[in-house]
Structure formats: C-alpha cells, structure tokens
Amino acid sequence: MEEEPRPFVVRVRIQVAWWWRQRWVRYAALALSIPLVLLCGAAGYYYVSFARVIDARLHGERDRVLPRVLARPLELRRGQSLTERQLIDRLNDLGYAQRGKVENAGEFAVGGGAVAIKPRLRELKGQVVHVVFQKPAPDVAPVKGAKPKPPPKAPDRVARLELGTHATEKLTLDTPVLTALIGSEREKQRQVALSAIPKHMTEAVLAIEDHRFYEHPGIDPIGILGAAVSNLRGNKAYTSGGSTITQQLVRNVFLPKFAGWTLQTARLKSPRRKILEMWVAVVLTRRASKDEIL
C-alpha cells in the first residue's frame, strides 16, 4: 500500500505548479538558465584546455632535458700535479658544497691533508672519494750562519686516491656544464626538489606571499576580501593584491601557453584575465600537489 504524500508536500507542489504556469516565471527561468549553461560550458572548455596544458607542462618538466655543452670531466690520478686549493676550486666550479663532514652527494670536506668528496655520479653508488696529498718535506734546523731557507711549498701532488676503502689509480668525477642551449621561449630552468631548499626560506616565502597556501584550493577568498577592504580604505600608498602563489604561477607560466596569449597579455590587468587566472589556479591545484606547485 502506497503512502500518501504529506499535506505540506502537497501544498509545495501546488504552489510550484501555480508559479510555473506564470509566463513571466518561465521567461525569467529561461533567461537565467541560458547564461548559466554558457558559463558551465566555458568553464568546462577552459578546464579541459588548461588541464592538457598543465599535464603536458608538469610531465614535460619532469622528463625534459635541455641540450647542454659539456667540458672535459674532472679526472683525478695518483701522482697528478694538483694542489689542494686547485681541487677545491674545481669542486666549487662543479657546484659542490664544502661541509665539515660529507653526508650527501655533492659535498666535500677538507682536513688532514686530504679532501673527502661524495660524488653525484650514480656509477660510484654513493661511495666517498678521498684525495690524499703528499706531505710537505720536514723542517730541517738551519745551519748557523747560513741563509734562511724559504718556507716549504704546499703539497702539489696527489699521493693517494681512495674510493670507499680501496685504493685506486684513476678516477673520473662530474662533467662541468659550460652552457645549455635554449629554444625560442628563452627559458633555462633546473628542477630542484623542495627538500633541497632550506626550510626557513620556504617558510619565509609562504609568510610573505601566501601564508594560507596549504589550506586554500588555489584562490584565497579571505585574502581577496582583505585586499579589497584595504584598497577601499586607501590606507596604503599602493594597492594590495589578493593573488596566491598558485595564481602567480598560472600568470607567469601557464597563461602564456594559451593560444594567442603572450606574457604581456597574461600580465595585463583585465577582468577576463583575472577570472581566467583564478579558474586555472583551481584547475592546477586539482592536477598537481601543493609541493609540486611550490
């Protein structure tokens, strides 16, 4: 046995039917539905278009390797004429960082007449290289009345090479990059893991630019409202912006990839550009993680 509708539901249905029979209500509904359908269609079009651009850009950045011009690799040999200072200079040119103790690849330490290096080459499997220099000649007591001898020269020869715990005669380290060939986009970028950036630097950028970065979906309504109130009050000599880090990335990287857009067009202050920037920021947040965006 079917349950009869409640009186309240019956009254609502009757009122809706009565309102819908009014011609002006149907016209108003049609007038509102057309822009809504067009808006949904435009949002869907831009979502699909920029989702492809974002995916291509993200995966392309992971896989892309710029053509590079390389110099001769750094070769070390036992008995090679090389001073400790010269080796340190070469390691600095290769981008190695001097530390008190080597722990990570790309670091070196100096001490005890030797230089310890942890190369970045995968072939060496994280083994530490020790370059031991010859010891200076021992000081000899000067003969009475003889001319004083000049100070002994610094060690200028590699006495021993060690890879891990084994001695070796020859070793090849990193190849220095002279330059990278770039295309018409005039871009030269290098992927850097977020973990490789000091934490205090990341926190400083977030505190200045976008302290709710990990909370909002690409756009920050609270920041936009705060910027609008500040601009209306006119308390500052400059206008405040409510753009998030994601929006800044969209403006400078993804909008110029859009058909017919240039970097100048992407930075132009216009309602269309701003709305598109906000929408693409939401799309980017859905297609990439916060750490990838940062």
| Spans of all domains in the chain | 47-63+184-293, 70-137+152-178
Nearest alpha carbon to residue 180 among 71, 37, 23, 31: 71
Mapped onto helix, strand or coil, the DSSP state of residue 87 is helix
Nearest alpha carbon to residue 121 among 70, 164, 173, 166: 173
The angle formed by the CA atoms of residues 21, 27 and 31, to the nearest 5 degrees, is: 145
Mark out the alpha helices in the chain (DSSP H runs).
7-20, 23-63, 84-93, 199-209, 221-233, 245-249, 263-266, 271-287, 290-293
Structural contact between residues 108 and 84, judged by C-beta atoms closer than 8 angstroms: no
Query: Mean pLDDT per segment of 10 residues, for the chain of length 294 residues?
Result: 58 69 74 79 74 69 58 83 88 86 88 87 82 70 58 71 87 74 57 74 86 86 78 63 82 73 72 82 84 82
Fold: same for 47-63+184-293 and 70-137+152-178 = no
| DSSP 8-state secondary structure symbol assigned to residue 28 | H
DSSP string, 216-241: SSSS-HHHHHHHHHHHHHT-SSS---
What local confidence, expressed as pLDDT, does residue 277 receive? 84
- CATH class label, 70-137+152-178: alpha beta
What local confidence, expressed as pLDDT, does residue 30 receive? 75
- CATH class label, 47-63+184-293: mainly alpha
What local confidence, expressed as pLDDT, does residue 1 receive? 47
